[in-house]
Structure 1
Amino acid sequence: MYVQELEPVADSLGLSALVATLPLLTVLVLLGAVRVQAHRAGLIGLAVAVAVAWLAYGMPLGQTASGAAQGAVFGLFPILWIVVNALWVYRMTVRTRHFDILRRSFGRLSDDPRIQALVIAFCFGALLEALAGFGAPVAICSVMLVALGFDPVRAAVVALVANTAPVAFGAMGTPVVTLAQVTGIPLDTVATVVGRQTPLLALVVPLLLVVLVDGRRGLRETWVPAAACGFAFAAAQFAASNYVSAQLADIGAALAGAGALVAVPGARRPAAEPVRAAVLTGARSEDLDHDDPRADVVRAYAPYALIVAIFSVAQIPPVKDFLAEATRTFDWPFLNVGDPTGKPVGGNVFSLPIVSTGGTLVLLAGVGTAVVLGVHARVAVREWVATVHELRFAILTVTSVLGLAYVMNLSGQAATIGHFVADAGAGLAFLSPVLGWFGVAVSGSDTSANALFGSLQVTAAQQSGLSPELLAAANSSGGVLGKMISPQNLTIACAAVGLAGKEGDLLRKVLPWSLGLLLVMCLIVVGQSTPVLGWMLP
């Protein structure tokens, strides 16, 4: 058994922590300063993590490589298994032009651009985040807003800011699933605490969006539908994450928010022409006036209805138990690690949820989508392969970052940093969301930030006397606010609306909102760590 050491470098916790941060510093510097592509930065960071584990911590090279392989496998399944299949469904709707029908349908819900921003960027964006994540909501929603006549810059800013509240439960709960995996905290526990933090953002973000679209006038005239949308979204996200399933949290929230928005009488009222003239300053797509047959509209919504139905059925207790029977748990080969006390760590065992994982359920929905949309089996398979090819660099990035995280956790590097950071004491509660925010701002992924810092947050919490569940959740909840300023998301937004090279302009517009909402989240976490808001936690 390899037993982790906390002070392997000169018997000094400070020096050991400094050496242990080298893999993280390598990735952050390469991404943020040198501007190296994310997949290259991840692979180099993984190599540094392996070197530190082997040379500084004395972890046998075979076990180090085995730990990295386990992280890479977890990155492939279930994380990327979800993303690939979700984007495959989207590609089929684009190929059959049902996505254009869906876009026109949204445009007809209301002619008020402020309501359109809520429907598309907040509600539909949350649904896309629930299904795929990883930049898809920003790219797709910003394009839809531009087609409706939004100025490209305004469309990109609205899509970026809207992509906050749903991120922690995005891609069928992938960020919280990863957080649970790397920290050893049960998924239901992590999801419950995150579900008592991010819904508070959902109360604010719709109001902020109407301000971004139409300033004070937008807030004055549309605060009622915006508030109704945010409240319904928050309530559904809280209820689903706490009492149903983390995988369904964003799906339920997106549908509830859209339903509440449409139900408010003021949301369907035609917008005054001065409002439309002031907001819609871009080129409007000519095909918006095309009328679609009702049957085609139903088919356009069918893929998302199938996903909701399949995931809902999968949560029925007898069905859930049946699907779980296919899960395989086994000792990971060539890995035998003990914590500093000699107790075997949870990473020695690997669980493979073959059928019950979100990716397999989305695959089933994809097969149903191909049937409903009339996509030939050969074409559907070709689209799936094309999706994998399109995501090849994202696959490298995710697997390398997860490999890095597993090596740091298994070798003891994360524990060393956590013990050192714990010296922040009570201030740790305030800094915890900042760490998640910084991780997402650099990596562009709440999943990656949770993999990198989740175990560190738990170790620091245990040493400082704070709740491990609270700080682990704060890492994810704070992280969602860093996504709008991440270089990857800014690049995706600019490319989608034809503003290549204008990432700096977008950053200046969204950074104040990112920092302001981060401060709110920090104060929430501090309050939840004290009796002031401690009652909010389970």
Structure 2
Amino acid sequence: MNTLLSGLPILLLIWVMTKRNAMPSHIALPVTALLIALIQLFLFQADLSLLGANVMAGILSVSTPISIVAGAILLNRMLFFSGAETVLSQWLKGVSTNKVAQLMIIGWAFAFMIEGASGFGTPAAIAAPILVGLGFPIIPVAIFVLVMNSVPVSFGAVGTPIWFGLSGLSLSDVQFIEISQLTALLNSIAALVIPFIALRFLLGWQEIRQNAGFILLSVLCCTIPYVLLAQWNYEFPALIGGAVGLVFSVVLAKKGVGLHSQIDMSLPDKPVKTWEVVKVFLPFVLLIAILIVTRVPQWGVKDLLNTMSPLWTWRFGETEFEVSRALVFSLKSILGTEVSWQYKSLYVPAMIPFLIVSLLCIPLFAMSRTRVVSAFRDTGRRLFLPMLSLMGALVMVNLMMQGGNDAPMLLLAQAFAGLLGDSWGYAAALLGALGSFFSGSATVSNLTFGGIQLSIAEQVGLPVTLVLALQSAGAAMGNMVCINNIIAVSTILGVANQEGFIIKRTIVPMLAYALVAALFSVVSLAFL
């Protein structure tokens, strides 16, 4: 009975978000969190102080992902209102008139890099309008960018799905690196298939086959550095992999390497000046440079931004509020419990680098006050509903993990383990995809199901790092069918009431991805 009650809120959440008149995530997730709180309080006899502490910690924890989202959206809006996106579109026409080259440069390599820097649906939001501006049909473009925006997602927003999404599982640094390695390898194998399927929504098979050499080279230009970086780091694989892949894809396209022919498409009205192109890419270069400087431990900046040396401490009751010299805000012993919260304001990639780079765009593009105000206003308008969704998800996760050995998440893990046993590797990625589907975020998927995946792995004797890598890759492939992302891309492109149609198309490549993940688990178990 306890297991049934533990799974009831999750089942209800899935149902209300997938039925014909689906409930939006900003309502469904908070309502689910409230239902779990009531179950904990009245059926599991949860300690009221602990319940309140977990709710507080969940609400406060939204500061990390929502501040990253805010920074990413602000940069996106600055580029839009400054006209930088238009310049980028004109420049690309001058690089190559081959459709495959244009789609791979923007829809694959460029989106790969943007996902590594910002994530949270930003790549599709930036790539889709550029491709439509190049003359590609709207709905196929929406499907294409959704399918392409999957492989880099596990390491999106400077690795947020891993370092934040799995942060509550008490994993060692060695385990985090192993998860990074396995996830990158799995995603890179899937990348040998997914771009070809994605291109089919816009092009015929003959055209794809004729340009298969370039497609494969463009894929490898991103995934090789992606895999190499993942051997020792889980923040930069997508960011650096995408940047390297973008440069090489452009060079290959200009030389026509692997391209069958230059297919005639309209050229820009006038050549784009080199300085204009440099200006468009300068914010991304600065973004990458600042992230590298602040993330490489050997340079010492990372330690400075994470120092916990107290600057100011304030106690109220049994709870302690502390601010460190690096402006790390902490709440310890919330309501007298062991629950705590922390926000690293200088290390979380919100102010540094997103806000800094966004503000530098003002003089760089000589933006008027009206355009700057529009960018900030548009950013604020887009934040409220995602904040509610993330808040509900984080509270839900905290409450699902409350209760020690009788925690709802642990009870669900035991049920799943008993159902599939050591065959769980076949389904692990699908659970991750399910999390992204209803929550709209790979990070939230990892937060929601990471604990379940960990418990299942321990109970059935599967390698923890492999199962969590399958979860991480599954959360990435779930981006293809994520309702929130589909609505976001459709809204940007002016498409109405096509969500169901798009999901029916994107679920096919997602299942192909899931098959790759299942085979990967079988092969990995033979070596681990």
Q: Give CA-to-partner distance per residue, 1:301-320, whole Å, 9 cap, x none.
A: 11111101101111332222
Contact map agreement 2:25 2:438 (CA 8 A) in 1: no
Matched, 1:432 2:433: no
1:231 aligned residue: 220
Does structure 1 residue 255 correspond to structure 2 residue 250? Answer: no
Match for residue 291 of structure 1 among 271, 293, 313: 271
Superposed displacement of residue 300, structure 1: 1.3
Report the Cα distance in structure 1 between the residues aligned to 2:36 and 2:57, rounded to whole angstroms: 14
Give the length in aligned residue pairs: 496
Quick one: distance in 2 between partners of 1:112 and 1:47?
A: 53
Q: Say if 2:486 is the partner of 1:490.
A: yes
**C-alpha contact 1:211 1:219 (8 A) present in aligned 2:** yes
Matched, 1:350 2:341: yes
Q: Is the CA contact (8 Å cut-off) linking 2:25 and 2:439 kept in structure 1?
A: yes
The alpha-carbon deviation at position 443 of structure 1 amounts to 2.3
Moved more, 368-377 or 299-308: 368-377
Q: Distance in 2 between matches of 1:503 and 1:382?
A: 28
Contact 2:72 2:122 in 1 (8 A): no
Contact 1:31 1:443 in 2 (8 A): no
What secondary structure is seen at the aligned counterpart in 2 of 1:195?
A: helix
Deviations 1:465-503 (A, max 9, x none): 112222122112012222212222222333333331122
Residue 202 of structure 1 corresponds to 191
Show the counterpart of 2:361: 369
Pick from 162, 177, 198 the counterpart of residue 148 of structure 2: 162
Could you tell me which of 284, 287, 291 is aligned with 1:304? 284
- 1:469 matched to 2:465? The reply is yes
- Aligned AA for 2:143? V
SS across alignment from 2:496 = coil
Q: What SS does the aligned partner of 2:202 have?
A: helix
In 1, Cα distance between equivalents of 2:478 and 2:114: 18
Provide the C-alpha distance between the structure 1 equivalents of 2:40 and 2:93, rounded to a whole number of angstroms.
Answer: 54
Q: Describe the shift of the 1:335–1:484 C-alpha distance in structure 2 as closer, same or farther (beyond 3 A).
A: farther
- Alpha-carbon displacement from aligned partner over 1:330-385 (angstroms, at most 9, x marks no partner): 52412636xxxxxxxxxx34343221222232222223333423346897577335
Asked whether 1:109 is paired with 2:95, we answer yes
CA RMSD for the aligned pairs?
2.4
Question: By how many angstroms is 1:186 displaced?
Answer: 4.1
Name the CA shift for 1:269/1:472 in 2 (closer, same or farther; >3 Å): closer
What residue number does 1:390 align with? Answer: 382
After TM superposition, the structure 1 stretch with the greater mean CA deviation from structure 2, 410-419 or 257-266, is 257-266
**Residue 352 of structure 1 aligns to a residue in which SS?**
strand
**Who is 2:302 aligned against?**
320
Match of 1:443 in 2: 439
Measured in 2, the distance between the counterparts of 1:259 and 1:372 equals 22
* C-alpha contact (below 8 Å) 1:228/1:257 kept by paired residues: no
Q: Is 1:58 matched up with 2:40? A: no
The question of 1:122 aligning with 2:117 is answered: no
**One-letter amino acid matched to 2:17:** L
Which residue does 1:331 correspond to in 2? 332
TM-score, normalised via structure 2 length: 0.88
Separation of aligned partners in 2, 1:463 and 1:335: 32
Length-normalised TM-score, structure 1: 0.86
CA contact (8 A) 2:138 2:493 kept: yes
Q: Which amino acid aligns with 1:331?
A: K
- Counterparts of 1:170 and 1:415, CA distance in 2: 28
1:232 shift after superposition = 2.0
Give the deviation of 1:133 after TM superposition: 2.4
> What is the DSSP-based 3-state SS (H/G/I as helix, E as strand, rest coil) of the residue aligned with 2:341?
strand
Which amino acid is the alignment partner of residue 433 of structure 1? A
What is the CA distance between 1:22 and its match in structure 2? 2.3
Once residues 514 and 295 of structure 1 are traced to their aligned partners in structure 2, the CA distance between those partners, rounded to angstroms, is 40
Q: In the alignment, what sits opposite 1:504? A: 500
Of residues 393, 397, 402 in structure 2, which corresponds to 1:401? 393
- Structure 2 residues without counterparts, runs of 5 or longer: 308-325
User: Secondary structure in 1 aligned to 2:164?
Assistant: helix
Paired with 2:438 and 2:271, the residues of 1 have a C-alpha distance of 43
- What whole-Å deviation, never above 9, does each CA across 1:432-476 have from its counterpart, x for those lacking one? 111111222222221221111111110111111112222122112
**Segment of structure 1 superposing worse, 79-88 or 25-34:** 25-34
AA of the residue aligned to 2:332:
D
Question: What corresponds to 2:256 in structure 1?
Answer: 266
CA distance 1:170–1:97, change in 2 (3 Å)? same
1:526–1:26 Cα change, 3 Å: same
Question: What amino acid does structure 2 have at the position aligned with 1:453?
Answer: F
Alpha-carbon distance between aligned partners in 2 of 1:198 and 1:470, rounded to the nearest angstrom: 13
Identity percentage of aligned residues: 21
Q: Which amino acid letter does the alignment assign opposite residue 30 of structure 2?
A: L
Cα distance between partner residues in 2 of 1:110 and 1:443: 38
